[in-house]
Structure 1
């Protein structure tokens, strides 16, 4: 489903829910007298909102920075593939052709097969990419005398691939989500008990606060995984593929 549509549905749903709660509370408390002292209520509202904002800001910065780390990981992996291709220069012609073919197949596998799965927030641990790396290792092992740096190049590719897949499956954790969700409820709760003489200002203010909190949580959920929703493109692999010429 489209991200904009999902976000809009969440905002509308939360707004309607909060408005319904406000209406119920106003009917229950028709005299509009505050349940607690207004100065205490304001202090609690400010403190809860500030603490939630601090926690949410740290989480947001963390998940946002992961996209930059993931982008760097893609260039490291693509560079490792390039090094594997260069390491084949000292091999006999048939072995060199096989190694170059494997590097091209690997890049195509990443771009055409693995990237859509990552964008859909799924990681295939038994992907064809692992088998291609294994075949590169076998070719490098057979030609270690002609290309001494080939095994090390394949090893660097293996490490870069593992790093990228680890980042693709990274999440902020259930404990963090628990803190965010509970913090959001506690931050918004005091606003329901402010005494408003008129219903319209209270409805508008409550819906605004609830919508902003929902928008922040929805944004964090959408960017939680750096490769989801196409945040990190496969540009590094595509550029490397164009540089690896056929033997």
Structure 2
């Protein structure tokens, strides 16, 4: 299902549920016009609880968004370093150059076709990519360097492969981060119910229609934020998933 359709359905459903609860509270409560006497106390509690919940939601959203941005930058850095290592190997002996080019293209293809789907579904990443990277390192390390130029190119290729390894480890670490933990989800959901359903129904004085609109809007808005958090949990899947375009471009330059 399209992410915009799914999000709209969740928001509309939450708004309807919130409005229904608000109607039932007013319709079958002791006071048809709400509880005006609660407004001062309920307002103070709502300000504190709502503020704390807003801080938690904002912290989680910003953290997840930063994670998505970091994964995108890390993937681009990994792909660029892979291409740079292959280019640096052009100055090495023919056998080493061909070997590094072959392994670099195979590594980019492995990341795009094998690793990325596993990162998206949370499965175990195969060791093929790590093995190919290690073979590139060995090929460069064993290459003879008879002059300063070759030694410089060999060192550059080794440094770029080390950058590939570092970026790879960061990418895999973000996959295993697990998104939002169970405790945080518990706090988010319970806080949302208190903020969107419980506390607004303690206020009184407004007309029934206005009260239903207020509670529905609040419930829908908070649900929208929770839906965004859910979609941002895994930077390799969901509505804002990072595609393997960096490795697609790298592969085009390597073959």
TM surpasses 0.5: yes
If the length of structure 2 is used for normalisation, what is the TM-score? 0.82
User: 1:74: Cα distance to partner?
Assistant: 1.2
1:178 and 2:178 equivalent? Answer: no
Q: Which runs of 5+ in 2 are unaligned?
A: none
Q: Deviations over 1:98-122 (max 9, x none)?
A: 210110111122233333444x343
User: 1:144: Cα distance to partner?
Assistant: 6.1
Report the Cα distance in structure 2 between the residues aligned to 1:71 and 1:13, rounded to whole angstroms.
Answer: 33
If the length of structure 1 is used for normalisation, what is the TM-score? 0.84
In the TM superposition, structure 1's runs of 4+ consecutive aligned residues that sit over 6 Å from their partners are none
Partner of 1:5: 5
User: 1:69: Cα distance to partner?
Assistant: 1.4
User: CA RMSD for the aligned pairs?
Assistant: 2.6
Partner of 2:226: 217
SS state at 2:122 partner: coil
Partner of 1:163: 170
Greater shift, 121-130 or 92-101, is seen at 121-130
1:100 and 2:101 equivalent? Answer: yes
Report the Cα distance in structure 2 between the residues aligned to 1:8 and 1:180, rounded to whole angstroms.
Answer: 20
Q: Is the 8 A contact 1:121 1:225 kept in 2?
A: no
Assess, with a 3 A threshold, how the Cα gap between structure 1 residues 59 and 144 changes in structure 2: closer, same or farther.
farther
Partner of 1:131: 131
Q: Is the 8 A contact 2:118 2:125 kept in 1?
A: no
Report the Cα distance in structure 2 between the residues aligned to 1:190 and 1:36, rounded to whole angstroms.
Answer: 14
Matched positions, count: 244
Assess, with a 3 A threshold, how the Cα gap between structure 1 residues 46 and 144 changes in structure 2: closer, same or farther.
farther
Report the Cα distance in structure 1 between the residues aligned to 2:241 and 2:125, rounded to whole angstroms.
Answer: 21
Partner of 1:89: 90
User: 1:18: Cα distance to partner?
Assistant: 2.0
